[in-house]
Amino acid sequence: MPRDRAERDRQAIQDMLAAMHDARKHVAGIDKAEAKPATHHYDAALYRVLVVGEAATRISMELREQHADIPWTDIIGMRNIVIHGYEKVDWDVVWESIQNEFPALEKQLLNILQRI
């Protein structure tokens, strides 16, 4: 992998990791009902989910193909819904992603980061 592509991938992964950490921090210690739409918890967490997806779009196709076990299309798709179809955002899906999918994704991304 060319050095500049590797550096772009590294930065995008770091951005994803930071945004996932921040999303979890915005909803830490509260339940899903407290982070309902139109609250600052919801808005902050949703923005971070958007950032995760935006950063994923910057990862090279080569790296995405090498790590096909990561649901890149779903990650980017969620970003697209948040940014273009915000009226269709399903908070239950977003909450589930933050609480249950982000920790496993973080581990996968940290493993990739160590190799590039």
Q: Exposure pattern of 47-67 as b/e (b: 16+ CB <10 Å)?
A: ebbbbbbbbbeebeeebeeee
Which residues are identified as catalytic?
79, 84
pTM of the model: 0.91
Report the pLDDT value the prediction gives residue 1, as an integer from 0 to 100: 57
**Predicted pLDDT of residue 16:** 98
Rounded to whole angstroms, how far apart are CA atoms 49 and 11? 17
| Alpha-helix runs per DSSP H in the chain | 3-27, 40-57, 61-66, 72-84, 91-96, 102-115
Return the SS3 of 91.
Answer: helix
Task: Say if residue 3's pLDDT is above 80.
Answer: no
